[in-house]
A = this chain, B = another copy of it.
Amino acid sequence: MKKENSAPTMKDVAREAGVALGTVSKVVNGLPVGDSYKTRVEDAIRKLNYQVNSYAQGLKADRTYTVALLIPNTIDPFYASLTHYINTALMKRKYRMLLCATDFDPRQEQEYVRMAQHNRVDGIIGLTYNPELIVDENIPFVAIDRSMGPKIPCVACDNFFGGQLAAEKLADLGCKNVAFLRSGSPLVNEPNKRKAGFETGCLSRGLAYEMKLLNDGDSYEEFERFLSEHISDGKLAFDGIFCVTDRLAYLILHSLRKLHQRVPEDVQLIGFDGIRAFGSIDYHCSTIVQPVPEMAEMCVDLLLRENMMAKPPLVCLPVTYAYGGTTLEPLT
């Protein structure tokens, strides 16, 4: 019989139920077994007070050394870069990566979560804005950019400080009247903290600011209208603009040119993400750079960590400012 004071193991459950260890594993993982076996295993689990949290521990021998990455696509350069560095971090640890480009399809996402539950992957790293995705807290899951529950670690850059840094940089560069332009998901998520950080920075540095906030799916023309409405006598009311992404900054740069505003002479522009042309050449704009290699390492490290208690609910990694031609050049 098992020793006093130690938690019951899967082996204890098998002995108590009078079934093979593999049968217990199947029941625990929701795989099909005969009804009578299922009842016996479930009764034994109740009797021994076998804890769900120790399942993962007991299943170590079943490792597939495979981790699934849920990501909308690999065409967007931020997603493509995350994919690359997560892949590299996994391969360094002799793990393989199943890539699931979801295009935000909730069925695809849920299917991969099911695979993890059935032990066909050891864990999931997921960047998903799908509020309906159901993740069992007992399967290893690390979320990127959106918290999915207190027991699921979330990795992001320090979005709040990134917003604050953008405001402080614009202040340092001489701006007085600034704007924040944002297009994105209306869900609560980490990138949405850029707005609050920017406001904090503006307030602390005495910058006057306005905001134009759009949701995914809203027409981009709303931004052009907003800018046009803030031009009088050919002069824009803002001398600095912070855009929620480099992608938006790129589009705004073109709109400003059409409106005969010179960047950076008339108005300085800062984006967010740190995207480079062709993945490695120039920044598209001056930008707050996300530490993608470090975020990838952290995701993999948290996912494969065996001690659940050592998994913090939110890890924010430091951002940096990079000059990319759309602000006044730093003095050298």
Contacts and interface: CB of A to CB of B under 8 A. Distances in A.
A277 to B, nearest CB: 6
Interface string A144-159: 0000000000000000
Q: How many copies of the polypeptide does the oligomer hold?
A: 2
B247 A77 contact: no
Interface string A54-81: 0000000000001001000111110011
A327 interface: no
Given A98-B98, A101-B91, A280 B83 contact: no
A280 B75 contact: yes
A281 B247 contact: yes
Interface string A237-254: 000000000110011000
A73 B77 contact: no
A100 interface: yes
A256 to B, nearest CB: 15
Given A277-B284, A281-B247, A284-B277, A99 B75 contact: no
Contacts of A278: 76-77, 246-247, 250, 275, 284
A29 interface: no
A320 interface: no
Given A87-B100, A96-B98, 11 more contacts: A66-B98, A74-B74, A75-B77, A75-B279, A77-B279, A83-B99, A88-B101, A97-B99, A99-B99, A251-B281, A278-B284
A305 interface: no
A294 to B, nearest CB: 16
Contacts of A76: 278-280
23 contacts: A66-B98, A69-B99, A74-B74, A74-B81, A75-B84, A75-B279, A76-B278, A76-B280, A77-B77, A77-B80, A77-B278, A77-B279, A83-B83, A87-B100, A87-B101, A96-B98, A96-B100, A97-B98, A97-B99, A99-B99, A246-B278, A250-B277, A278-B284
Interface string A80-118: 110110011001000011111101000010000000000
A276 B101 CA distance: 20
